[in-house]
Structures are given as C-alpha cells and as structure tokens.
A and B are shown apart, each in its own frame.
Chain A
Amino acid sequence: MRVLVIEDEPDLLSALAQALREGGFAVDEADSGTDGLYKATEWDYDAILLDLMIPGLDGWEILRRLRAKKTTPVLILTARDAISDRVRGLDIGADDYLLKPFNLTELLARVRALIRRAVGRPDATFTLHDVTINTVRRTVFRCGQPVVLTAREYAIVELLAHRSGQVVSKTQIYEHIFDETDDTLSNLVEVHVSNVRKKLGREFIHTIRGMGYVVDR
C-alpha cells in the first residue's frame, strides 16, 4: 500500500514517513502544497495524509483540486481544532480528520481503515479460498497454519486480495509496493509473486498473459 504524506514540518514529516514504512506502507513525502498536489494527481496512492496549514497551496485548495480528478482517500492532519474547520475539510472531500498531536497507532489504524473502505472490504480480516489475511497484524494463514511472508510478499498478497477478481498489472503492483525512493527493477515483482505461489499454493495467484495477475474471489 502506498501513501503520500503532505506536511511542511520536516520533523513531523520524517516521523510520519518512518512510522508508516514500519507499518508496511510505501511512503512518498511532500513538504509543500504544490509538490503534494503534483504527486497526488500523478500517482494512484492508496491514501493521502494532508496537513491543512502548509505553504504554497493550503490543504483545502489541494483537496479541492484533487477531488476534481481523483477519489483517493484523504486523511486530514491538522492543528486547527475548530469544529468549523473539521466540517469544512470533510465537506470539501476529506475522508477522515485527525487533530495534532495524534497517536501514531491510531493514525495507522485510521489509514488502514480508509484503505479498506476504499476497496470495499470493511473487515480487517478476510479469507479467500484456504488463505486468511489479517491486515492489522499483517499475517497470513493457510489452512489455519501461519505462513511467513516477507514485507514485499505480504504487500503483494494484500494488494491482490483487496482487488480479488480484478486483474492487477505488474506496473500497478510495482507502483503500490515501492515508493519514490525505491529504484528496484520491475521484474522483482515476478520474483515476489513466484515466492508467494510457493508459500500459498500455485492456484492462489493466476497469471493472465500480457495483462497481469489475479486472485479469484
């Protein structure tokens, strides 16, 4: 899952990015409104964390312009605690609102919840065939037995499982599991998929030639 953090306070931005990465997300960073809006419209993020008071374009303007093009879930992070500010943010198109200072655990949970809602899987734990995925603990069970996956492998499983029944291209997988700082080759995706097949069974991920991969519903 790849998220974008738009925040002008460098110390907060670094902490957020680190926390999200340790939580299994691929994280892009933007420290100004213009940079943030550019990235937000250029890539398909799974979620965006947006500070309202940033130089350049302010948070509301970014949200307004983003909503004209994309439906990416947006979580507003702000020091503005007035009810009117929250209402305004939510009415413009934000999906959630978190007041500074916030708890990191809560923040991660809210981001996960936002992503689940966006893909239409409100339950944090779900089962496909004989594979059960817990998106909170980031664990996978096959026939009740825990399966050890690497972070990347888990990310691919979660991505495909969230979009079960849809074909997901290699580029899409690449874009969702690596962030802007990664310069790994895209053929690494094939390596990770083959490793997942070894651990969860060949039938779990199907290859659609020339298009990508799919996990059956």
Chain B
Amino acid sequence: MWLIGRSIRLRMVVWCAAVLMAVLSGYAAMLYYEVRAARLAELDGQLDTVAAGLEASLRLFPTQELTGEDPPPNESPEFAPPKPDRVPKERPGTRPTPPGRDRSRQPMPLNPPSGPLCPGDPNAIYFGVWRTNGTEIRSVGMTRDSSSPIGASSQPVHSTRGPNREVLVFGPQRTVILVGRPLGRVEAELTHFAWLLFGTGAAVLAVGLAGVWVISRSIFRPVARIADAASRISQTNLSERIDPASVELELTGLAVVLNAAFDRLESAFDRQVRFTADASHELRTPLAVIRAHAELALSQPRTGDELRKTIDVTLRMTERMTHLAEQLLQLARADTGEAVLHHEPVELDRVAEEVVAQLVTLADEKQVQIELTTEPATVSGDETAPGQLFGNLLSNAIRYNLLGGWVRTRAGRLQGIVEAHGGRIEFDIPGVGSTFRVILPTTQ
C-alpha cells in the first residue's frame, strides 16, 4: 500500500486495472445475460410448442373429463380419441380413474407433439395437466409433486424451478398445463460460457495492464532524462541549463522551474566564491605585513625601537584582521539565518556627527574641510551599520580628495521617500567631485 501511494506508475496501473476491470466485467455480465436470455427463450419456445400441442389435444377431450363433472351419458361416444391408432410406446404413470367411469371412457393418451419421451434422457420433456379443481388429468415424467401448480394465466408463464425450466399455461376449461424440461446442458453451456468470458476478460486485463506499464515507463522516460540533466548540471557545471524547447510540452514547466532554481543556486554560489576570494585577499595583505616585519625583525639583531615598531605594526594588522573576522562571522550568520539584526531607532543626525568628529584629524592631515548640516532623522536598523557606512564613505571622500578640498555632509529627511523599503545608495560622478546619496527607510 505504501508503495502504491508513493509510485505514480503503480498508481496508474492500479487505476487502469480498476477501470479495465469495471468495463470488462460490465460487458461480460451484459453478454452473459443476453446469451442466457437467448438460450432460455429458445427453451421457452420449445416448451411453448409442446404446451400448445397439449392444449390442442386437450380441446378434443370431453368437457366432463376436463372439468371433472359427470357427463350426460348420451354424449360419451362422441369423445373418442382423435387418433386411436396412435398408441404410445409406453404409458408412464397411471392416472387414477375417477369413480363411476367405465372403460369405454378411458382417456386417450396425451403426448407431447414433438416426439416421444425417452426415460433416462436428461433433457426429456415432462408435463402435467390438471383440472381447475386441482385433480390431475395426466402427467408424464413429472418428478415434482403432482399437486396442481398455481400461478397460471392466459399467457404462458415461464420460470426456472430448481434445475428445470417450466411453462405454465391455462388450457381449455381452465385446465392447467405445465411443461418442463431440465436445464441440463444449457446450464452447463452457460457455465462454460461464463468461464470463457472470465478467461478472455482476464487475458484482456493482463494485456492492458502490461500496456499501461510499458506506456507509463515511456511517460516517465522524459522525466528521468530531465533528472539526469539536472544531476549532471548540479555536479559539473552550474552555468549549464536544460533547454525548455527540447523537452516535452508537459514538462516545460518543470524545466523552467529547474532552470530558475539553478539560476539562484549559481548566483548564490558565485557570490560565495567571490566573497571568499575577497575575504582571502583581504586577509592576505595584513598577513603579508606581519610576516614581512617579523622576518625582518628576526633577520638580524634589532634595537628596542625597531622591535617596538614591529610589534606596533603587528598589533595594527591584528586589529584589521579581527575586524575582517567579525565581518566574516556576521556574513556566515546571515547565510545560516542566524543574523540578529537589531531593529531599533537610530538617529542618523547623531551618527553623522559622531563619524565626522572621528574623522576630523584625518581631514586636517589632508587639509580637507568637512562641512556638516543635520536635521533630525531616525531610521530603523542596527546602530553600527549606518555608522560604518558613513565612516567608509567619508574616509574615502577625505582620502581621495584633492589637497585643500572639501566634503559636505548632510543628514536629514527626504520628502516622499517614506515608501522606500530596503535602502539604496546613489552617486553621481560628474568629473571633479562626486555626490553620494544613502537612502534608508525611516521609522514610521
């Protein structure tokens, strides 16, 4: 069950099996009942013929014989058997002679017109005729109890009783005629036919399911091909893509989605590679400085001042690397979603003032004049981030300025930028002098 739930192919096969089975059994049942009805109709026709023959014979019987009443004595000679020469080969059963009848009024033989009855023939026709008061006129080959059956009508009534098929019909003077024969061979034939239908159905089902299995494999072959392509791409070359034009229409969506996933994966991977390359580059420079100074210091006897300089350089480089390590750690945390970004109100004007105060000495060295205009502006975020950003921008502005140049800094609110969500940096470099604009979302 677990496998069926997991496997589309198995599920397809199970569903197809259910549908095929329903269709096949429906058709088989219909066919079986049609054939059975035809065979029974054939039988019934035979029985009807016999019943009609019997009825015709009965019409020749004296009315008293049929009603069970005593006839007027003068009428009796007229009721002679219609064909006295037709002697039955045998007389199965004896009918009780009604009291008060003489031999001359012995009833004539009553035989089915279709031919003699053969005892021992499993398909032998039997019949019985009863008066309307329930007494029997004749019965041949009856195995059932000889009381008069009920349920006759002017139309023949066909029914299957036990292993026999029977017809019940009214004869003249409301006598009841029953003709029957064992189903015998018919039943065996129908059973055989049912088995044949079952076998054919099973074979068709098997062939159909095999077909479904094969077709389902061909349905999943393109999927497997895409999976192959995807695994090849993820293992070897992330810049490769699945060509959506080369896959089946139904799978184009899958190819497009996979390609989009690869796009994201590739860009993330590239970012990571670039970042690690940058980080390694950033770390190599301070390491080179430390190593060069340390090797230099050890290469020959040094004075205390020279050694002090080496240690001083080492310390400064260590600070630089510590800063780098912190940035790396922050990024690693951001990558794993562990970044704790403190969203607290940050007063930009105050941050700008602090940054400018820290950079005054550097500006003096370069003889760069810093102007600062502020108005209250509060953003939401990590307090250190805007400080770092301003610090970087300003120190670059001072460092790469002309001797005696100026830097103007303004912190404040922009009108109509409240809807800005992330934040962005814009800059113009119109030749001499550049303008950098840092836009951050304000707190609501």
Contact = CB atoms under 8 A, between A and B. Distances in A.
Interface of A: 9, 11-12, 15-16, 18-19, 22, 53, 55, 77, 79-82, 99-105
A101 B281 contact: no
Given A101-B284, A101-B287, A103-B291, A15 B296 contact: yes
A105 B317 CA distance: 21
Contacts of A22: 296, 299-300
Given A22-B300, A104-B295, A15 B284 contact: no
B316 interface: yes
Q: How large is the interface on B (under 10, 10 to 19, 20 to 34, 35 or more residues)?
A: 20 to 34
Contacts of A82: 277
Given A53-B281, A80-B281, A18 B289 contact: no
Contact of B285 (A18, A100, A103, A104): A100
Contacts of B293: 11, 15
B269 to A, nearest CB: 16
Given A101-B290, A101-B291, A79 B296 contact: no
Nearest to A79: B284
B288 interface: yes
B31 interface: no
Contacts of A80: 281
A12 B296 contact: no
B70 to A, nearest CB: 134
9 contacts: A11-B293, A11-B313, A15-B289, A15-B293, A19-B299, A79-B281, A99-B284, A100-B284, A104-B299
Closest CB pairs A-B (n = 4): A79-B284, A100-B288, A15-B292, A101-B288
Interface in B81-132: none
Interface string B272-308: 0000010011101101111111011001100000000
A102 B288 contact: yes
Contact of A12 (B280, B282, B289): B289
A104 B288 contact: no
Contact of B296 (A18, A53, A55): A18
A81 B277 CA distance: 8
A50 B338 CA distance: 41
A2 B83 CA distance: 156
Interface string B307-334: 0000001001100000000000000000
Contacts of B288: 9, 12, 77, 79, 100-102
A9 B281 CA distance: 13
Contacts of A77: 288
Given A11-B316, A12-B285, A100-B287, 14 more contacts: A9-B289, A16-B292, A19-B292, A19-B299, A22-B299, A79-B282, A79-B285, A100-B288, A101-B284, A101-B290, A101-B292, A104-B292, A104-B299, A105-B295
Nearest to A55: B400
Contacts of A103: 291, 295
Nearest to B282: A79
B209 to A, nearest CB: 58
Contacts of A16: 292
B154 to A, nearest CB: 109
Contacts of B280: 79, 81
Nearest to B283: A79
Contact of A104 (B277, B296, B317, B400): B296
A81 B291 CA distance: 17
Q: Which of A99, A104, A105 has the most CB of B within 10 A?
A: A104
A22 B301 CA distance: 12
Contacts of A79: 280-282, 284-285, 288
Nearest to B399: A55
Contacts of B295: 19, 103-105
A44 B359 CA distance: 41
Nearest to B310: A15
B288 to A, nearest CB: 4
Contact of B317 (A11, A19, A100): A11
A11 B318 CA distance: 13
B281 to A, nearest CB: 4
Interface string B243-265: 00000000000000000000000
A16 B285 CA distance: 13
